[in-house]
Structure 1
Amino acid sequence: MISEKLIKVAMADLNIASNGEVLKTTGLGSCVGLTLFDPAKRIAGMAHVMLPSSSIARETPLNVAKYADTAIPELIERMVALGASIRAMQAKMAGGAQMFTLPGQTDSLRIGPRNVESCLMKLEQYNIPLLSQDTGGNFGRTIEFSSNDGILTIRSVQHGIKEI
């Protein structure tokens, strides 16, 4: 995907794009790259979610982009401030892998699947439909999201390139 302007989204970060800009994040293992898109306004947003819930946060001040339950509302708020409509928003996501499996593993170590579940619950609260996802597995991903057409490009060493 070639664009005049590439906006990088770091781990535990979020950003918005418009006017054909492309959002990109790398290193999605158990993290989830959640994207939102208003097709009428061509406003896109991306959050690189590391953990499912801010209830476990110990940092001060709180990094709202780090947690699914705080990143998604913040992303929506920023997109609305730029002119997007919540009712028009559509979501896509990638990541949420189970990178390591250990014998006797507890639910607390299932970070990838829990990140996916938390993102889905938050989208449901806002009535934002999830159009497609490429989640799970045991491999990392890099994603790019176009504010021009809402196409999410997913790259992985194991599975090549695909668009959703």
Structure 2
Amino acid sequence: MFNEIESYYLKPGEIFYSEEPAMVRTVLGSCVSITMFVPRFKIGIISHCMLPSSQDAIHRGEDAMKYVDCALLYMNKKIINSGAEKRETEVKLFGGSNMFTIADADSGVGIKNVNSAINLIKKLGYGIVSSDTGGNFTRKLFFSFDTGKVYLRKISKIQGM
């Protein structure tokens, strides 16, 4: 299946949107990926967000898509502009690990990313159909723009180094 369609690697701070079949892969630690898929149109979008809120940004002119709030607002706009309805959009959330032993699991950037994503997804009027967040390990994701499925592999911190 992976060899039959175009494959892309999504780096931190990037978003990938497609109306064509594709496979997008990424690796997450404390970052989060949000996927949106509309089965009726077979369109999808995936983000790789590093930080919870652009309000925390000191410098302007940075890549805004590295922030959960900016990425989700952009993703919402792409879905709405496609003609899809929110109720038919499958939203999934992944990542947000506590990758640093010095950070408290409840106050680290990973949990802040997850909470920011959940709150804005709900505020925008979407439901989350699937998620895998938290923990203290790396996740490798594969997102199929043909089916909307997300394939997930958890990697221990030792293997990921």
Question: Would the TM-score normalized by the shorter structure come out above 0.5?
Answer: yes
Taking the aligned partners of 2:30 and 2:155, their CA distance within structure 1 comes to: 16
Letter of the 1:89 partner, please give it: T
Contact 2:98–2:136 (8 Å) recurs in 1: yes
What is aligned with 2:149? 151
Letter of the 1:24 partner, please give it: R
Q: 1:83, CA displacement in angstroms?
A: 4.3
Kindly indicate whether residue 132 of structure 2 is the aligned counterpart of residue 134 of structure 1: yes
CA RMSD of aligned residues (A): 2.0
Contact 1:17–1:23 (8 Å) recurs in 2: no
What is aligned with 1:35? 35
Q: 1:63, CA displacement in angstroms?
A: 2.0
Equivalent residues in 2 for 1:6-155, closer than 5 Å? 6-26=7-27, 28-102=28-102, 105=104, 109-155=107-153
Taking the aligned partners of 1:143 and 1:117, their CA distance within structure 2 comes to: 20
Contact 2:26–2:140 (8 Å) recurs in 1: yes
Aligned partner of residue 70 in structure 1, secondary structure: helix
TM-score normalized by structure 2? 0.86
Unaligned runs of 5+ in 1: 159-164
TM-score normalized by structure 1? 0.85
- How far does the alpha carbon of each residue in 1:125-149 deviate from its partner, in whole angstroms, 9 at most, with x for none? 1211101111111001111111111
Taking the aligned partners of 1:15 and 1:77, their CA distance within structure 2 comes to: 14
Equivalent pairs, count:
155
Q: 1:79, CA displacement in angstroms?
A: 3.3
Unaligned runs of 5+ in 2: 157-161
Letter of the 2:12 partner, please give it: M
Q: 1:23, CA displacement in angstroms?
A: 2.0
Aligned partner of residue 49 in structure 1, secondary structure: coil
After superposing the two structures, state which structure 1 stretch, 33-42 or 2-11, moved more. Answer: 2-11
Letter of the 1:7 partner, please give it: Y
- How far does the alpha carbon of each residue in 1:26-67 deviate from its partner, in whole angstroms, 9 at most, with x for none? 2x1000011111111111110101111111112321422111
Segments of 4+ in structure 1 off by > 2 A?
78-87
Taking the aligned partners of 1:20 and 1:91, their CA distance within structure 2 comes to: 18
Q: 1:18, CA displacement in angstroms?
A: 2.6
Letter of the 2:130 partner, please give it: S
Identity of aligned residues (%): 31
Taking the aligned partners of 1:44 and 1:110, their CA distance within structure 2 comes to: 29
